């Protein structure tokens, strides 16, 4: 297990470095000069040169890259071209919205999917099981932004039960108001994410229910629920864990759409605004942080999967992997 962790950490570091290079190169391939964010339409050649010197776009690409990598190594993501504010502290302020939104929605989605997926598997041959599977398929097909708009119309505009968007200026100083403002965004994500997860949970549970060791446990007197919890839950969770990592990463990345629908001041709105204003430091900072989170989620999912399934800790030769 130790050698595996060392290799996996090395792969994580290499992936992060490659992601940094890719982010830098792709941004520079876009048309336009980042200095344009500081210029008016009728800027003079002298003003253009001054703006290019200010943002460093007049330097060769390799100098821009080495300067940026050195700044990142010092945990300095630069300053916004537009506001002049440091990017890293602003990302930290935005994360107090994006992370709770992502984590709350993820936990609730897992709970809902586990219950619905198990029920759909156990009742697979009944009308209830078919109905649950059909609802899950519909939930996957419906775009998340459409569900968000529908919930705003129904619960905010028609029934006036919840706010249609926004977030308290005091952030989490009033937890109740903050949670209320996140309710509709969370429900929007849960509808889509739990529908996707339900398919995988149902498939994993069906595979376990047909296993010989589970039938033997029931033949020895254990009830269906007891037999599954004691002898089937661990096996069913193995294929789902890797999917959970992917779904958590997708939820974090999908915050761009959800935050736009509900006007939340998170990483998504920061990225959208930065792209519209050609604010390269902010774009690079947000992409770098989200990429790091996605890579860490994948790393943790792999480790947890190996811990849950002893077979994955054994190499083909039978030695500890």
**What are the pLDDT digits (tens) for 270-282?**
888 888 888 888 9
Joined tokens for residue 242: 């890797």
315 band by pLDDT with thresholds 50, 70 and 90: very low
| Full domain range(s) for residue 237 | 94-313
Task: State yes or no: pLDDT of 24 exceeds 90.
Answer: no
- Pick left, alpha or beta for residue 166 (phi over 0 → left; psi -120 to 50 → alpha; otherwise beta): left
125 and 273: one domain? yes
- Co-location of 50 and 98 in the same domain: no
Does 88 fall in a domain?
no
How confident is the model at residue 225, as a pLDDT? 63
b/e burial code for range 251-277 (CB count within 10 A of at least 16 → b):
bbbbbbbbbbbbebbbbbbbbeebeeb
Query: How many CA atoms lie within 13 Å of 118's alpha carbon, on the beta-carbon side?
Result: 13
Q: Which residues contact 215 (CB under 8 A, 6 or more apart)?
A: none
User: Phi, psi (5° rounding) for residue 315?
Assistant: -75, 180
Instruction: Out of 23, 41, 73, pick the residue that ends a domain.
Output: 73
Question: How far apart (Å, rounded) are the C-alpha atoms in residues 150 and 144?
Answer: 10
Within this chain, do residues 19 and 162 fall inside the same structural domain, yes or no?
no
Residue 23 half-sphere exposure, CB side, CA atoms within 13 Å? Answer: 22
Mean per-residue pLDDT for 218-222? 64
Share of the chain above pLDDT 70, in %: 87
- Model confidence at 317: pLDDT above 70: no
Give the pLDDT band of residue 186 (cuts 50, 70, 90): very high
We report the CATH number of the domain holding residue 229 as 1.10.3720.10
Same domain membership, residue 167 and residue 35: no
Ramachandran area for residue 229 (φ above 0: left; ψ -120 to 50: alpha; else beta): alpha
Same domain, 166 and 35: no
**Is 61 among the domain residues?**
yes
| 3-class DSSP state of 86 | strand
Any domain includes 78: no
Please state the domain count of the chain: 2
- pLDDT exceeds cutoff 60 at 306: yes
Residues 99 and 50 in one domain: no
At residue 321 the predicted structure's pLDDT band, cuts being 50, 70 and 90, is very low
Tokens 């929605």: give the residue: 105
84 lies in some domain: no
The residue whose two tokens read 């498939």 is 203
Percent of residues, the chain, with pLDDT higher than 90: 12
Residues 207 and 236 in one domain: yes
Domain boundary among 73, 104, 132: 73
Whole-angstrom distance, CA of residue 256 vs CA of residue 73? 27
Among residues 73, 102, 136, the one where a domain terminates is 73
In a domain, 124, yes or no: yes
DSSP 8-state symbol, 103: H
pLDDT band, residue 108 (cuts 50/70/90): very high
User: What tokens appear for 181 in the block?
Assistant: 């403002």
271 vs 104, 135, 253, 265, 266, CA distance in Å? 22, 33, 11, 10, 9
Instruction: Identify whether 41 is part of a domain.
Output: yes
Q: Which range scores top for mean pLDDT: 157-161, 163-167, 180-184, 216-220? A: 180-184
Is residue 118 located within the same domain as residue 55? no
Query: CB of 194 within 8 A of CB of 112?
Result: yes
Q: Indicate the SS3 state at residue 320.
A: strand
């Amino acid at each position: 297990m130790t050698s595996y962790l060392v290799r996996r950490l090395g792969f994580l570091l290499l992936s992060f470095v490659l992601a940094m290079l890719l982010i830098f190169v792709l941004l520079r391939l876009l048309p336009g000069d980042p200095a344009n964010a500081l210029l008016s339409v009728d800027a003079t050649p002298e003003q253009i040169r001054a703006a290019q010197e200010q943002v460093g776009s007049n330097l060769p690409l390799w100098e821009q890259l080495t300067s940026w990598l050195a700044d990142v190594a010092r945990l300095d993501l630069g300053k916004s071209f537009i506001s002049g504010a440091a990017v890293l502290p602003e990302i930290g302020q935005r994360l107090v919205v994006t992370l709770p939104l992502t984590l709350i929605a993820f936990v609730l989605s897992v709970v809902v999917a586990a219950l619905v997926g198990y029920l759909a598997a156990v009742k697979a041959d009944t009308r209830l099981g078919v109905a649950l599977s059909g609802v899950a398929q519909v939930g996957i097909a419906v775009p998340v932004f459409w569900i968000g708009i529908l919930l705003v119309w129904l619960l905010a505009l028609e029934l006036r039960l919840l706010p249609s968007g926004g977030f308290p200026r005091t952030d989490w100083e009033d937890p109740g108001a903050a949670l209320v403002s996140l309710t509709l965004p969370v429900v929007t994500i849960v509808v889509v994410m739990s529908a996707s997860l339900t398919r995988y949970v149902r498939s994993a549970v069906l595979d376990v229910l047909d296993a010989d060791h589970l039938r033997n446990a029931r033949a020895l007197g254990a009830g269906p629920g007891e037999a599954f919890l004691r002898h089937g839950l661990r096996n069913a969770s193995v294929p789902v864990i890797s999917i959970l990592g992917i779904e958590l990463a997708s939820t974090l990345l999908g915050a761009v759409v959800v935050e736009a629908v509900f006007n939340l001041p998170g990483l998504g709105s920061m990225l959208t605004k930065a792209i519209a204003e050609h604010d390269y430091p902010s774009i690079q900072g947000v992409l770098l942080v989200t990429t790091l989170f996605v890579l860490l989620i994948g790393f943790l999912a792999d480790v947890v999967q190996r811990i849950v399934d002893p077979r994955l800790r054994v190499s083909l030769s039978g030695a500890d992997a």
